[in-house]
Amino acid sequence: MEKILSIHGISKKYGRIQAVNGLFIEIYKGQVFGLLGPNGSGKTTTLSILLDLVRNDSGTFEWFGKPPSKESRKRIGSVIENPNFFPYLTAVKNLQIVADIKDKPYDDLDEVLQLTGLYDRRNDRFRTYSFGMKQRLAVASALLGNPDVLILDEPTNGLDPQGIAKMRELIKRVAEKGITIILASHLLDEVQKICSHVAVLSKGKKLFDGEVSDVLAISELLEIAADDMIQLEKAISMHPGFSSLVRSEDRWLVYFKGKIVPAEVNEFLHRQGIVLTHLSERKRTLEQHFLELLRDNS
């Protein structure tokens, strides 16, 4: 798989504030990679460094296997700040100006307007747009020239529920085109629904990175049952990861100290002579994992 971005220990300090602290991340082609963290965790500073808007104090990073350059920057589209277009010009005119600045032809104007759901309003002035439409026009401008990477900083900030849903669908459509997406967000639900991979940041440090599906597959609570519930209680309490259990009607709800694989628990009990009549897992949410990471590193 092609490596799009490699970050090797970048750090950035503003006075006494350590905005980014020895960050290591690798991102591959086709991923929708979320930088997740509370406000002040270093997300925007990291993106600004990657776009050469802010100079890092130490560490290095590579785009497409090479040090950052003007050529690599041309392959990246980004929306870092609030949409900023000429209010008295139409969407088409504003995008033409952006294309001129990027030295790109007008060939894909209709395509990006269709993709962002703005084609029917393409001849309306920017000042008549809702905030959500303005955000989508910013994404359209970032997509001019068919970039390999799209960077978005808090893309749903300030949007109403309808606007959030439209932005979410837009990001999914962009990803389906094979464009690698890197987005920063403090919204757990947004990352869980949009991203394939996530890195959790806190106070400039990376606490975790991996596939979102792996995080959601972690179980710390199992429902189990057997013909002899008393023997089952004794047997499961001997499991090295066992924490506690609660009776729920005809089942035990078993809590574990950390990650647990249901098949491994089934095998463990089978070795104790217990044949389960019921085994199901209750999967944790990304929010639970996120809050645990922040708590453990506070």
The CATH number covering residue 126 comes to: 3.40.50.300
The CATH number covering residue 226 comes to: 3.30.70.100
Question: Residue 192: what pLDDT?
Answer: 86
Burial of 150: CB neighbours in 10 Å, binned 0-12, 13-18, 19+: buried
Tell me which of 169, 184, 215 is where a domain ends: 215
Instruction: Please tell me whether residues 43 and 127 are part of one structural domain.
Output: yes
Question: Residue 216: what pLDDT?
Answer: 63
Q: What's the chain's average pLDDT?
A: 91
Give residue-wise pLDDT tens across range 53-103.
999 999 999 999 999 999 999 999 999 988 889 999 999 999 999 999 999
Instruction: Please tell me whether residues 229 and 111 are part of one structural domain.
Output: no
Instruction: Please tell me whether residues 200 and 228 are part of one structural domain.
Output: no
Domain count within the chain: 2
pLDDT interval class at 4 (50, 70, 90)? very high
Residue 190 pLDDT > 90, yes or no?
A: no
Question: Residue 218: what pLDDT?
Answer: 58
Contacts of 21 (CB under 8 A, 6+ apart): 11, 42, 203, 204, 205
Q: In 3-state terms, what secondary structure has residue 282?
A: strand
Give residue-wise pLDDT tens across range 209-224.
888 877 665 556 789 9
Bridge partners of residue 208, in order along the sequence: 200
Instruction: Please tell me whether residues 85 and 187 are part of one structural domain.
Output: yes
Instruction: Please tell me whether residues 170 and 273 are part of one structural domain.
Output: no
Instruction: Please tell me whether residues 36 and 138 are part of one structural domain.
Output: yes
Instruction: Please tell me whether residues 175 and 185 are part of one structural domain.
Output: yes
Residue 283 pLDDT > 80, yes or no?
A: no
Domain span including residue 32: 3-215
Tell me which of 169, 199, 215 is where a domain ends: 215
Burial of 215: CB neighbours in 10 Å, binned 0-12, 13-18, 19+: buried
Instruction: Please tell me whether residues 154 and 270 are part of one structural domain.
Output: no
Is the distance from CB of 86 to CB of 94 less than 8 angstroms? Answer: yes
Instruction: Please tell me whether residues 44 and 167 are part of one structural domain.
Output: yes
Of 13, 21, 24, 15, the C-alpha closest to 62 is: 24
